Amino acid sequence: MSEIARRASHSGTWYSSSKRELNFQLEKWLDAAGPKSHGPARAIISPHAGYQYCGSCAAYAYKEICPTTTKRIFILGPSHRIHLSGCALSPATIYKTPLYDLTIDRDVYDELYETSSFEELSMYDDENEHSIEMQLSFIAKVMESVGPKEFKIVPILVGSLNADKEEMYGRILAPYLADPSNVFVISSDFCHWGQRFSYQFYEQSWGEIHQSIQKLDELGMNYIESMEPSSFSSYLKKYRNTICGRHPISVLLNAIANLRNSPTNGSSTTNCSLRFLNYAQSSQCLRMRDSSVSYASASLKMTN
């Protein structure tokens, strides 16, 4: 297959297009996040807003990745622009970033296509979506010590899945999660609060609006940490929290559940711990006319 490049279509707007400036920002955030506290990560949850809003939060997840043991990085991002009832793969062979190009593992793509459960995106739709792109520069930065020839990426755009499809994709991806040379990046922001998001849940007994939002997000984070897909699903049905990456998160939870319930997929993955490491809000809402987006970072650790 000839080289097909996906351009860094959101650089210069959502994050810096200057290699020097971007390097400085990423290094600053990763240094501030401190040493590993819940790694090496087999999967992380990371936000995907403009870096000025969520870069420092995302760094807490990315610091948990071990470059020397990582050969392949799966990136699951929610579709914001187009309707998908399943999951879709990129037509590209490389993804460009201001730091260096990332190579897509087309062999894994072929394996996924063989399941007949994945469709192919158009390049326009691929480049128009930001949820995967916002992870790429962080990936390039944390992996720079080994270099671009030592690992590949597997970007997967996740649509509006029902519970059965979340379970199905979790089952398909579980063997890849079981492989210690793979890392999964789950792209998700948390609560989108305000009239412009058509979501203004407010429990006054929890304090100010921003405190209510944080409590709401923390409830969801607790259910995610339990790694029980049905519990997270029940939480979403009850509160309708606008977690945009809820479907990629649910796919991850189903993959974990599949491994824990089916040791033949990889006995080394039965001991799992998922922990949230940082939380932030774009602003603190005090009035009903205010708005904010929440960000959270997490790491999944698996031990023998």
Average pLDDT over residues 35-44: 94
Q: Which residues contact 1 (CB under 8 A, 6 or more apart)?
A: 93, 106
Helices and strands in the chain: count of H runs, count of E runs:
9, 12
Residue 255 confidence (pLDDT): 98
Q: Which domains does the chain possess?
A: 5-192+242-273 (3.40.830.10)
Is pLDDT above 60 for 265? no
Cα 274 to Cα 114: distance, rounded to the nearest angstrom: 30
Cα 222 to Cα 150: distance, rounded to the nearest angstrom: 35
Predicted confidence (pLDDT) per residue in 70-114, tens digit? 999 999 999 999 999 999 999 999 999 999 999 999 999 999 999
Residue 89 confidence (pLDDT): 98
Is pLDDT above 90 for 266? no
Average pLDDT over residues 166-195: 98
Is pLDDT above 90 for 267? no
Lowest mean pLDDT among 1-10, 38-47, 149-158: 1-10
Q: By CB neighbour count within 10 A (0-12 exposed, 13-18 middle, 19+ buried), where does 245 fall?
A: buried
**pTM reported for the whole predicted model:** 0.96
Residue 198 confidence (pLDDT): 97
Is pLDDT above 50 for 4? yes
Question: Taking Cα atoms as reference points, which of 195, 69, 192, 78 lies closest to residue 132?
Answer: 78
Residue 263 confidence (pLDDT): 60
- What the block records as the tokens of 25 is 């920002």
Contact 151, 73 (CB under 8 A): yes
Is pLDDT above 50 for 123? yes
**pLDDT bucket at 293, cuts 50 / 70 / 90:** very high
Cα 61 to Cα 77: distance, rounded to the nearest angstrom: 16
Residue 2 confidence (pLDDT): 80
Cα 151 to Cα 181: distance, rounded to the nearest angstrom: 10
